[in-house]
Amino acid sequence: MVLLSILSIPFIAAIILLFVKQNEKANYIAIASSGITLALALNIAFNGAANFDTSWISSINARFVLTADGLSKILLLLTGISFPAILIATSKNDIKNRAQFLSLMLFTQTGLLGVFLAGDALLFYFFWELALIPVYFLCSIWGGEKRIAVTFKFFIYTFLGSLFMLIGIILVYTHTADQSFAIQSFKEANLNFGQQLTAFALFFTAFAIKMPIFPLHTWQPDAYEQSPTAVTMVLSAVMVKMGLYGVMRWLMPLFPEAFAAHSNFVVILSVIGILYASFIAIRQDDMKRLIAYSSIAHIGLMSAALFANNEIGTQGVLIQLFSHGVNVIGLWIIADIIEQQTGTRSLKEMGGLAKQNPTLGILLVGFAFANIALPLTNAFVGEFLMFNSLFQFNPWIAAAAGVSVVLAAIYTLNMVQKCAYGEVSEKINKMQVPNVPAQFVLIVLFIVVILSGVYPAPLFDLTADTLKQLFIK
């Protein structure tokens, strides 16, 4: 029942918000709803929750099953933390029709939670698409100048990908022994190697577009840049995780042979993507684009480690799913505060943030360190494990991916230098009043960064069962 309520709270709140007119009231409702969701997520993560299972479409044996194992829990935690953080941090931003905006945000949250909880392939697909629709409207209505074309590209890309996954689901479904969509039946489906390859390709297309893996990434930087920042945060912190989640939930257990056969191919693509994104990030002057490319590089590393197909790498990815989300939200919030108050995203026009607002300066440095995975920060734990796994997979590939660490240091520290240090620039001088709620959120997130960096054991415990399932047969 807890699982059903965590899904229905944002949904009900979203519907209520459709009828709310005042901005203030809407803010409270949305933040309260996301706060309750966070509490429930914490409860589920650390106390566990019973499966919710009820009949849905009996004639084709599709069931409404919600289930939470380690993999789901860690993403529930991430979704749970992200939304209140995002909503509070952007609560002072000037957004037209805020109630509708928040309503769509909460619909997105419902879709995301559904994806992470679904224990039935058709239900998974259902939520997978559902998470996309509100985002389409959010970006197209509240986005930047080129929003309509960019969002449409993003939508068509991901929609096409998920349709391929739908064929994959149908294909596996017709080969299940009991004609059911349950994960267990899918795992036991009677597929020969050729069919596995086809099904793998169909599922993989959807996940590769979502992550995205080079060369299917072209929708992403534009979409991140053009979306309103609150949505960008959702996209980059939580939504891209849908792709990685899909790989771990469906690809690895369902098509082990096809997965192994493709690991070289995908790892190489991912590493190309990492280097490509890192080099582009170095050349960026726009802070939002820089963070976007940096995020692509990080996700690339996660997909490489996942497809290296060993236990240590998968462990790293499971931890990093959470850490990357927290770090990237932190960076976005800082970028957003600066943009809201100064009206610029260009690094050239910044400088002297540390003098102007020392707290924000320190936080920027802190999140920058987390972004390059310095020890003591949360990202170090995950990235260390992931590089370890890549090294086991192939030292040369590990070396190539390792270059990205250096590159990450270059672009991140460059950003810090240009933004935080030097004389106070004309634009930064405009930042007279600190944005208190946003800074509060940043401090809380930073505490999470350090805590999970120093003492990551709870996260390991949380994901142990998923790891065991994937690797110990």
- Applying CB under 8 A, the residues found at the interface with other proteins are 56-60, 122, 125-127, 129-130, 133, 137, 140-141, 147-148, 152, 155-156, 159-160, 163-164, 166-167, 170-171, 173-174, 198
- Complex with other proteins: residue 124 or 369, whichever CB lies closer: 124
Do residues 219 and 212 make contact, with C-beta atoms less than 8 angstroms apart?
Answer: yes
- Complex with other proteins: residue 107 or 411, whichever CB lies closer: 107
Q: 118: which DSSP letter?
A: B
CA distances from 223 to 148, 345, 369 (A): 10, 16, 26
CB atoms within 10 A of CB 435: 23
Cβ 134 to other proteins, closest distance in Å? 11
Do residues 40 and 80 make contact, with C-beta atoms less than 8 angstroms apart?
Answer: yes
Helix (H) or strand (E) holding 294, with range, is helix 287-307
- Complex with other proteins: residue 198 or 263, whichever CB lies closer: 198
Cβ 128 to other proteins, closest distance in Å? 8
Biggest CA pair distance of the chain = 70
Cβ 142 to other proteins, closest distance in Å? 10
Q: 175: which DSSP letter?
A: T
- Complex with other proteins: residue 64 or 471, whichever CB lies closer: 64
Cα(26)–Cα(18) distance, rounded to whole angstroms?
9
- Complex with other proteins: residue 250 or 411, whichever CB lies closer: 250
Cβ 345 to other proteins, closest distance in Å? 23
CA 79 to chain centre: 9
Q: What residues does 62 pair with on adjacent strands?
A: 57
Helix (H) or strand (E) holding 57, with range, is strand 52-57
- Complex with other proteins: residue 129 or 349, whichever CB lies closer: 129
Cα(405)–Cα(391) distance, rounded to whole angstroms?
14
- Complex with other proteins: residue 125 or 369, whichever CB lies closer: 125
Cβ 119 to other proteins, closest distance in Å? 17
Q: What does R_g of the chain's alpha carbons equal in angstroms?
A: 21
